[in-house]
């Protein structure tokens, strides 16, 4: 691995927004540790990024497992020394998401992926960012954190409202230490997560939605701004 590249960590990099962010960063010359529960989709992401100016490094990790996140961070920091950027893009939902049918184990699985996992990752990389006096954290939230809806379901809304709160807390406590956080609130995106809806939308509806690359462009905006500048929130929806 080249020693002159800055390192970013991207969760949920096996598909959707996480994959798009990882590829965009690699094209921009970053070394990217790509995280996800399953190694096969991560390998596909790495193959798609072959030949980029940067590099992609596969790190399978279930971010909902605090001990696994600690091991992952040790591996990444041990190999690269420092992480400049963390992008929390992993997320999930469930078909049986309505309040009257939401099983406790499903609720906890959604919370682990959407809120607890990002918290664990922030805690894992925050000390190094504080020591360096710099760091950017991007949390891919959802417009479900602006207004709860039956379409999103309560577990998803709760987790995303919490992720927005985590972003605000980072800025409130850590901006004096050179660390900034941006929350991106996308509307409907054409990703595999749509297949988890009780009634997945048809192709004609998906064609009108955002693409993962649109959200990745927002993430790069927040990351590539001069360190003196902070974009706290980005709300992006289809036209």
Q: Give the burial class of 43: count Cβ atoms within 10 A of its Cβ; 0-12 exposed, 13-18 middle, 19 or more buried.
A: middle
Determine, yes or no, domain membership for 1.
no
Which pTM was predicted?
A: 0.95
d(CA 218, CA 189): 13
Looking up residue 62, the CATH number of its domain turns out to be 3.40.50.720
User: How many domains does the structure of the chain reveal?
Assistant: 1
The string of pLDDT tens digits covering residues 144-190 is 999 999 999 999 999 999 999 999 999 999 999 999 999 999 999 99
Kindly give the confidence (pLDDT) of every residue in the chain, 239 residues in length, as a single tens digit, with 9 standing for 90 and above: 455 689 999 999 999 999 999 999 999 999 999 999 999 999 999 999 999 999 999 999 999 999 999 999 999 999 999 999 999 999 999 999 999 999 999 999 999 999 999 999 999 999 999 999 999 999 999 999 999 999 999 999 999 999 999 999 999 999 999 999 999 999 999 988 888 888 888 999 999 999 999 999 999 999 999 999 999 999 999 99
Residues serving a catalytic function are 156
Find the domain containing 200 and state its range.
7-232
Q: Buried (b) or exposed (e) across 213-226, using 16+ Cβ within 10 A?
A: ebbbebbbebbeee
- Domain assignment present for residue 237? The answer is no
């Amino acid at each position: 691995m080249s020693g002159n590249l800055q390192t970013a960590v991207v969760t949920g990099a096996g598909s959707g927004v996480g994959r798009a962010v990882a590829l965009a960063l690699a094209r921009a010359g970053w070394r990217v540790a790509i995280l996800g529960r399953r190694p096969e989709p991560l390998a596909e992401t790495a193959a798609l990024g072959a030949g980029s100016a940067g590099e992609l490094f596969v790190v399978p990790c279930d971010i909902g497992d605090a001990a696994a996140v600690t091991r992952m961070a040790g591996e990444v920091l041990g190999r690269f020394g420092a992480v400049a950027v963390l992008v929390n893009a992993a997320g999930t939902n469930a078909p049986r998401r309505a309040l009257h049918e939401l099983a406790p184990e499903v609720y906890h699985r959604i919370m682990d992926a959407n809120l607890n996992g990002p918290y664990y990752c922030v805690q894992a990389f925050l000390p190094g960012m504080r020591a360096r006096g710099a760091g950017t954290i991007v949390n891919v939230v959802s417009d479900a954190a602006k207004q709860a809806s039956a379409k999103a379901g309560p577990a998803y809304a709760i987790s995303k409202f919490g992720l927005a709160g985590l972003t605000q807390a980072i800025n409130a406590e850590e901006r004096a230490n050179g660390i900034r956080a941006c929350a991106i609130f996308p509307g409907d995106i054409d990703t595999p997560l749509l297949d988890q809806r009780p009634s997945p939308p048809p192709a004609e509806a998906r064609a009108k939605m955002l693409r993962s690359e649109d959200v990745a462009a927002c993430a790069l905006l927040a990351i590539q701004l001069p360190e003196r500048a902070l974009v706290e929130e980005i709300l992006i929806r289809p036209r």
